[in-house]
């Protein structure tokens, strides 16, 4: 039970990549780690919100550059 909690709650839910979790658990295959580590719904939601924010920021930066170049 501790391995499942560590893999899911302590590491993956806090942004640690599954490759790192795999090494921490002493696994040679990611598939073995996936038995212990589950992606929780709140993690999916948080990751998608981060992606949305990143994409919006890139869009805003591109728009700023476009406006600076057109005013020169």
14-68 pLDDT per residue, tens: 989 999 999 999 999 999 999 999 888 888 998 999 999 999 999 999 998 888 8
The number of distinct structural domains making up the chain is: 2
**34 in the same domain as 56:** no
C-beta atoms surrounding 6 within 10 Å: 16
Q: Say what the pTM is.
A: 0.67
**48 in the same domain as 65:** yes
SS3 readout for 4-57:
HHHHHHHHHHHCCCHHHHHHHHCCCCHHHHHHHCCCCHHHHHHHHHHHHHHHHH
Say yes or no to pLDDT of 71 above 90. no
Please give the residue range of the domain that contains residue 24. 1-39
Q: What integer pLDDT is reported at residue 68 of this predicted model? A: 85
**53 in the same domain as 35:** no
Q: What integer pLDDT is reported at residue 72 of this predicted model? A: 63
**50 in the same domain as 35:** no
**54 in the same domain as 30:** no
């Amino acid at each position: 039970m501790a391995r499942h909690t560590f893999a899911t709650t302590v590491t993956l839910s806090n942004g640690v990549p599954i490759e790192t979790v795999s090494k921490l658990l002493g696994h040679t295959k990611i598939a073995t780690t996936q038995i212990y580590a589950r992606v929780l719904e709140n993690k999916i939601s948080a990751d998608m919100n981060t992606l949305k924010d990143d994409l919006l920021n890139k869009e805003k930066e591109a728009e700023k550059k476009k406006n600076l170049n057109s005013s020169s």
